Each structure stands twice: as C-alpha cells, then as structure tokens.
C-alpha cells in the first residue's frame, strides 16, 4: 500500500476541554488510486488530509506514505517531504496577489536546487496541463474564480508530486467551473502513478473517484469502491 493510516486520531484542546476531530481512522490506499473523501462540514476531512500530507501530526496512530513513517520525521524533514512529494489544492486558491500566475506556480520550486531552465520547463508544463498558460503573465485579481483554481492546481503539480491532496477544491466555484476543476484533478493521474485524494461535502463532485471514504464526526463510517 502507498498510504497506510493506522488508528489515526487527532484531538484539539479548546476551552479547557478536548475536541475530537478524528477518531481511530484506519485504511490503506494503493499507489495511483483516485479517492474521494466525503462527509458533512466538521466531519474531519481537512484534518485527515493535513495528517496525510504532513501539515499536522496525529495525537495517536501512525501514517505511512510511500514507505515513510511521518511521525518519525522532524519538522524540517516534513517540510522536505511536502516539498518533493506532495501537492496541495485548497478551497481558496491562496495565490499571492502581487505575483503573476507564472510566479505563483514557480514558488514551490524556489527552494529546490534545480537548474533555472529545468524550473522554467516545469512551470510551463504545469501551466499547460492546467490549461492556464494563456494567463501566465496576469495577476490573480485579473482571473476568474475558475482560472484562479486552475492556477492553484498548476502550482500543486509543478513539483511532479506522488501525492495530490485537494481540500474542497470546488467549494467557491460555480457548477461549470467546479466540473472543469474536477475533470482537471482527475486527469492528473492519467499515465502516472500519482495518488489523488479529494475531500468534498458534495458527493456529486466526486462522481468519477474510484473509491469513496466517508467520515462522520471524525469516524470512518464507509469505505466503498466504484
């Protein structure tokens, strides 16, 4: 299995009491699978993605990604893991307003020790894959919501990650742009052994996912294929 989550729990302290965001969640995901994560708001979808991507640490349980046990990594090692192996797409595009689309997509590559030409080729390839290359010189404020999210997808895949984690990527889009972004996300795996997890409360947006994990109140209540 490419991802192995074992008895994964996450607790938060709030107002002197503990809030359970995720409770003893276990599953395995093979490399190259496209997985939808569903459930109502507050079900634990974002928490799960954050743990799988090394953005947060579990209160208990373990996560392995590609044979790497994340709990055994230091903060610096987790940063390197995310930089080289994970691409993130969020509900809000989180593009830097003062940077062009090209510059935003380049950002993940800045700390990498790669030749300038190789970085340029990676950015141009990501822009083309996301069908946003014609807006490369524009600022985020000059783009539509759908274009901003396509730019965010390009930024997520510019480092050619093994794992793409998308958290409510269509939540702020109209139905037509939502469909286009979903089609784009699902096309990313074609011809590659890339694993994609997409969290959304809208089951219809995930109709093309190969597998569905459903969370309710932090508990995995369903795991279905097809």
64-81 confidence digits (pLDDT tens): 999 999 988 999 999 999
User: Structure tokens of 198?
Assistant: 């997409």
32 pLDDT exceeds 80? yes
The pLDDT value recorded for residue 16 is: 75
| Assigned token pair, 220 | 């995995």
Residue 140's pLDDT is 95
Any idea what DSSP says for residue 59?
S
pLDDT, mean over the chain? 91
3-225 CATH, one of 3.40.50.970, 3.40.50.300, 3.40.640.10, 3.90.950.20: 3.40.50.300
Q: What share of the chain is helix, strand, coil (3-state, %, to 5)?
A: 35, 30, 35
Is the pLDDT at 143 greater than 70, yes or no? Answer: yes
User: What local confidence, expressed as pLDDT, does residue 226 receive?
Assistant: 62
| Mean per-residue pLDDT, 83-109 | 93
Q: Residue 108: its pLDDT value, please?
A: 92
How far from chain centre, in Å, is Cα 41? Answer: 17
What is the torsional sign of CA 157, 47, 204, 173?
Answer: negative
Which helix (H) or strand (E) element contains residue 172? Answer: none
Question: How many CB atoms sit inside 10 A of residue 116's CB?
Answer: 8
pLDDT of residue 18: 85
């Amino acid at each position: 299995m490419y991802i192995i989550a074992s008895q994964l729990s996450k607790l938060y302290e709030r107002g002197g009491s503990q809030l359970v965001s995720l409770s003893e969640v276990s599953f395995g995901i093979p490399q190259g699978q496209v997985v939808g994560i569903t459930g109502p708001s507050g079900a634990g979808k974002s928490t799960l993605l954050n743990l799988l991507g090394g953005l947060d640490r579990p209160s208990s349980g373990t996560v392995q990604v590609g044979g790497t046990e994340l709990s055994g990594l230091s903060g610096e090692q987790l940063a390197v893991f995310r930089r080289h192996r994970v691409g993130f797409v969020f509900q809000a595009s989180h593009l830097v307003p003062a940077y062009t689309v090209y510059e935003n997509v380049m950002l993940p590559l800045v700390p990498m020790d790669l030749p300038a030409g190789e970085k340029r080729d990676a950015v141009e390839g990501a822009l083309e894959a996301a069908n946003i290359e014609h807006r490369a010189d524009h600022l985020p404020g000059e783009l539509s919501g759908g274009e901003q999210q396509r730019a965010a997808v390009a930024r997520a895949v510019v480092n050619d990650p093994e794992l793409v984690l998308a958290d409510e990527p269509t939540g702020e889009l109209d139905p037509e742009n939502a469909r286009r972004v979903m089609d784009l996300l699902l096309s990313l795996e074609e011809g590659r052994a890339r694993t994609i997890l997409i969290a959304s409360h809208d089951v219809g947006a995930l109709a093309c996912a190969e597998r569905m994990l459903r969370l309710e109140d932090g508990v995995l209540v369903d795991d279905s294929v097809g």
